């Protein structure tokens, strides 16, 4: 799987280099009415791509982290339940029951 990932990243890098080489032309981007940014096309494309990618990547990492913590807590709870089920229960002896003497009414003979 690691080799596939390496090949994909290499192909993407080569495509980005080819795009950059053939489109290295200056463009003007008007940000506000009096603020104009002059840059090259590949820089503009890469920045636009990153502006879309980074927030979704951060969201993905946050969800992955939260679910990893949740899975860890569930595994820990399952492990403790398994240990509790595997140990034999402790037998406790019942203490003797105390008997309550009824109060004498005074009419009874000994």
- List of the chain residues with pLDDT < 70: 89-90, 95-96, 98-110
Q: What is the pLDDT of residue 107?
A: 62
Retrieve residue 74's tokens: 């569930």
The answer for residues whose C-beta is within 8 angstroms of residue 30's C-beta and 6 or more apart is: 36, 37
Q: What is the pLDDT of residue 66?
A: 97
Confirm whether 66 is domain-assigned: yes
Q: How far apart are CA 21 and CA 69, in angstroms?
A: 45
Q: What is the pLDDT of residue 82?
A: 80
Confirm whether 101 is domain-assigned: no
Confirm whether 74 is domain-assigned: yes
Whole-model pTM: value is 0.60
Confirm whether 93 is domain-assigned: no
Confirm whether 100 is domain-assigned: no
Counted domains in the chain: 1
Q: How far apart are CA 23 and CA 44, in angstroms?
A: 11
Q: What is the pLDDT of residue 103?
A: 65
Under 8 Å between Cβ of 59 and 33: no
- Domain region containing 60: 2-86
Retrieve residue 9's tokens: 């990243």
Q: What is the pLDDT of residue 105?
A: 63
């Amino acid at each position: 799987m690691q080799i596939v990932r390496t090949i994909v990243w290499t192909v993407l890098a080569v495509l980005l280099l080819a795009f950059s080489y053939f489109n290295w032309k200056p463009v003007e981007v008007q940000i506000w009415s009096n603020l104009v940014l002059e840059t090259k096309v590949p820089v503009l494309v890469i920045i636009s791509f990153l502006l879309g990618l980074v927030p979704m990547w951060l969201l993905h990492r946050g969800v992955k982290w939260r679910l990893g913590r949740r899975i860890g807590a569930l595994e820990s709870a399952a492990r403790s339940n398994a240990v509790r089920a595997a140990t034999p229960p402790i037998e406790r002896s019942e203490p003797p029951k105390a008997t309550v003497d009824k109060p004498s009414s005074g009419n009874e003979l000994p």
